[in-house]
Amino acid sequence: MDGVGSFGAGRTGSTLDPISFAKQPQTVLRVLSWIFSLVVFASIVNEGYVNLGSERLHCVFHKNADACNYGVFVGLVGLLACSFFFLLDYKFSSISSVKDRKKAVMVEIGFSGFWTFLYFVSFCFLANQWSRTTPDELPLNQGADAARAAIAFSFFSIISWAGLTVRAVQKYLLGTDMTLFTTEHMDGGAPTQPYPSNSPGGGTADTTETYQSPPFTENNAAPTYQVPIY
């Protein structure tokens, strides 16, 4: 796996190709989760409340305001979380510390797994309340399409968030390639290179070698001039 660093990301400081990043399964699942959360949130906010001849708005899910509030909450937070983790995925290879990378992956596992569960609750809760809704509670079938869309995309969100959880677990199990990181990298510092050894076996060089004078020192000495005696 040439060029692969800790937790499935590239080496620290490596250049990230936007096209390759967009084609990654995790990126595709992230975008799908963002779209599904947007549909759940927008469907309930725009058409999830109806006016039954009064100024008071009622939730289309059996007039249960908790059902609409729960769907809005799960959709909105899921939408914001997808945006945050998308940026984290894009900047992940620039994180130099292995410990910080591990923390980021663990946060992603916990949140993705928890939001998968919340969307499962959302699907069951909304579907149950919708099955109890009578035609008298929705004159002219108002908000029916929005209610069905919120239920359907809550189910789709279970699949997409479960896929993100699996991808995050795989990234965590991939662990770290310790041959690419020194102790200083573990703490986020720059690595220090040891001095190369001069001995053939890689051991400690003998520093008590005898001193040798430079070559041609004696031969290049200036000749002595003798004054002639008359």
Query: What confidence tens digit (pLDDT) does each residue in 63-101 have?
Result: 999 999 999 999 999 999 999 999 999 888 788 788 888
Pick from 46, 31, 29, 39: nearest CA to 153? 39
Please report the pLDDT score of residue 6 as a whole number: 57
* Residue in 7, 59, 26 with CA at minimum distance from that of residue 163: 26
pLDDT tens-digit readout, 173-220: 887 544 444 444 445 554 455 555 554 554 444 444 555 555 555 555
Burial of 5 (0-12, 13-18, 19+ CB in 10 A): buried
Q: What's the chain's average pLDDT? A: 79
Q: Nearest CA to 61 among 156, 154, 148, 153?
A: 148
pLDDT at 90: 87
Q: Which residues contact 141 (CB under 8 A, 6 or more apart)?
A: 135
Is 227 a residue whose pLDDT tops 90? Answer: no
**Contact in structure between 129 and 48 (CB atoms under 8 Å):** no
Distance CA 130, CA 141 (A): 12
Could you tell me the two tokens for 64?
């249960």
